[in-house]
Every structure is written in structure tokens, then in C-alpha cells.
Amino acid sequence: MRNIIIRIRVLLIAIFVTFFHWTYCQNHKLQINTDSIVYLNEVSSLDSLLCMFKGHVIYVDFWASWCKPCITELAEQPELETYFQSHGIVRLYIAIEQIQTDPTSQASSIDKWKKMVEKYNLIGFNYYSQLRTPFFSGITDKIMKGKISLPRFAIVDKNGVIVEMDAKRPSEAEKLTRQIAQYLENK
């Protein structure tokens, strides 16, 4: 009898969590058709952020202003941008910056990040995170398998599932478009 009660409780908790996640996703969807730079506000977790784009394939670029290979990958690639826009692929840039504990340093870090976003014309959705935060931990746990590795790229399917944790780089545009193409079909 006790096992049945425990199973019922676990089932009810699972139903509640699923319903809460679904409700959150429904209430936090963004206007996707954009050809401009969009800055996203504080989000509690990587899952919550990805949930905002459910129904769209997402190409995620994890980068940092202090990472030279990351900056190299930010170079404009008009053909790739055209491909992304014509197929409704969401560009999500997540900057992972050094920890800034005092408000002045943090404001300076955010200002530097925004200037780089504008300098490199990072059209799409841009999110700022710091190392060693709960949001950052979600990235290292789900994408980077426990340790930071930048630059890193990922593909998320229309259901919000991370399907490629080490996607091709923008500098490999032809290979990247082939990799993404398999997730554009409605599955």
C-alpha cells in the first residue's frame, strides 16, 4: 500500500512539473520574426530560455568577449544569415562573461558585451551570463559535459530538445547548413 501512495505522489509531481513547464513556455514565447538585435532579460535557466523559442529550430552560439576564437566566429556571413532567415532558424547568442561581483564592474561588463554585440551585428537574440552562476551551470551540465569549452555551438530542435551539443561552426557554413537541415522537417 505504501508503494502505491509513493508512486501516486511521484506521478502527481511529474504531472505538475510538466504542466508548469508547458504553461511557462506558453506564456513566455517571443516574437521570432526579427532581423534586428534583441537583448533578453534575466532568465532562470537554460531550459527556460530555450522554451521561449519552442516551435523553432535554434542555433545557439556560446561565446565570450575574452575568447579570441569566439570573436573570429562572429564574422558576418551573409549567405548563412540568409539561410537562417529564409528557414526561420532562431539565432541565439549566449555570452559567458567573467564573474563581476560589484555593481560597477558588472555594469561595465554588460556595457562591453552590448558594444560587442553591436560591433559584430549579432542579429538575433542575445543573452548575458556570468561564469559560475546557476544559469552557467545549466550550460556546462547540459551542453559542455561539466567543463567550459568556448566557442561552442548547439542546435535545438522545434520541441526544445538539444540535438547537437557540438554543432558545426559558422565558419563551416556549408557543413552547418546540412547539419541543421535535418531538423527543419516537422518530426
Which position has the higher pLDDT, 100 or 62?
62
Give the separation between CA 184 and CA 58, rounded to whole angstroms.
Answer: 10
Assign a CATH topology to domain 31-184: Glutaredoxin (3.40.30)
pLDDT higher than threshold 90 for residue 30 = no
Q: What pLDDT shows up at residue 18?
A: 44
Q: What tens digit of pLDDT does each residue of 100-110 get? A: 888 999 999 99
Give the separation between CA 84 and CA 183, rounded to whole angstroms.
Answer: 13
> In whole angstroms, how large is the CA radius of gyration of the chain?
18
List the chain domain ranges. Answer: 1-30, 31-184
Give the separation between CA 137 and CA 133, rounded to whole angstroms.
Answer: 6
Give the separation between CA 6 and CA 9, rounded to whole angstroms.
Answer: 5
Of 26-35, 49-58, 111-120, 155-164, minimum mean pLDDT range: 26-35
